[in-house]
Chain A
Amino acid sequence: MSKESPAVQGALTRYRIIAWIVGVVLLALTVGMVLKYGPADDATVVETVGQVHGFLYMIYLVCTFDLSRRVPWPFKRMLLVMLAGTVPFFSFWAERHVTRHWVPAAVPALSE
């Protein structure tokens, strides 16, 4: 299979979806942290979102590993992308960077 095989594009789509979801939930968790440890002292959000984020991040790790071995990436880059999913806001930038620079672009299905 060549580099622009549909398998890579499928893995990229799965990675992008879960990266976006994890990024959003991570932001919610960050807000929850501020509420819990800040002056508000309210742990409701953390208790709700914390467990969910843990499971979603597991899926994120699996999808990132899958993508990194299909492209394939060097080992360090895989670790970097995995860690990028834990940094609030930065995770969105990382997802864009991965899509634009670290995965070969798809060939259009119908090209003239």
Chain B
Amino acid sequence: MRGLWTPAWMARHLLALVLTAGCLALGWWQFSRAADGNSISWGYMFQWPVFGGFVVFIWWREVQLARRKAAGEPLTVPEPPAAPSPAVPGAPVVLGRPVRVAVETAAGAAPDPELDAYNDYLAWLTANPGARPSDYPGRITT
């Protein structure tokens, strides 16, 4: 594809190549030093190839990223929405930002006979200001 052979990308390919070759060469140099009796060079001999491998890794990631961008695919996988924490008992308590949620209206709530009776009692008290609670005749069912 054309997108990976622009001048900017050519420079990146070259940079990756030079850095990788440089790391491997330094690793080889440390190996020769270690063979000559410089004992701490043994460690460096193993570290340099790792750095070289990291260069290859970054180069590969950037190429993949550019390909996905060119193909119009999403660059990151969208994270699934966080599960409501109180759903699972014993789940760790997580504090987050306060979130504004829609308040459930009374009409949407499940039928509650006790609540209905109490509301009827309160309505009767309001309708009869002078009455005592003991005068409440009970709920008139229609």
Please give the residue numbers on chain A whose beta carbons come within 8 Å of chain B beta carbons, in ascending order: 1, 46-47, 50-51, 54-55, 58, 61-62, 65, 69, 75, 107, 109-111
Q: Can you name 27 A-B pairs with beta carbons within 8 Å? A: A1-B78, A1-B79, A46-B40, A47-B40, A50-B40, A50-B43, A51-B43, A51-B44, A51-B47, A54-B43, A54-B44, A55-B47, A58-B47, A58-B50, A61-B54, A62-B54, A65-B58, A69-B61, A75-B12, A75-B62, A107-B97, A109-B95, A109-B96, A109-B97, A110-B97, A110-B98, A111-B97
Nearest CB on B from A86, distance (A): 11
Find chain B residues with CB under 8 A from A55 CB. 47
**Binding site of B, secondary structure by majority: helix, strand, loop or mixed?**
helix
Find chain B residues with CB under 8 A from A58 CB. 47, 50-51, 54
Task: Using A58-B47, A58-B51 as known contacts, list a sample of 4 further A-B pairs with CB atoms less than 8 Å apart, ordered by residue number in A.
Answer: A50-B43, A61-B51, A61-B54, A62-B54
Interface residues as binary, B96-129 with A (CB distance below 8 Å gives 1, 0 otherwise): 1110000000000000000000000000000000
- Beta-carbon nearest neighbor of A54 in chain B: B47
Size of chain B's interface in residues, with CB distance under 8 A? 18
CB interface residues, B 31-66, toward A, < 8 Å = 40, 43-44, 47, 50-51, 54, 58, 61-62
Nearest CB on A from B16, distance (A): 11
User: Across chains A and B, which 6 residue pairs bring their CB atoms closest together, nearest first?
Assistant: A54-B47, A51-B43, A47-B40, A61-B54, A109-B97, A1-B79
Find chain A residues with CB under 8 A from B78 CB. 1
Nearest CB on A from B12, distance (A): 7
Find chain B residues with CB under 8 A from A47 CB. 40
- Beta-carbon nearest neighbor of A62 in chain B: B54
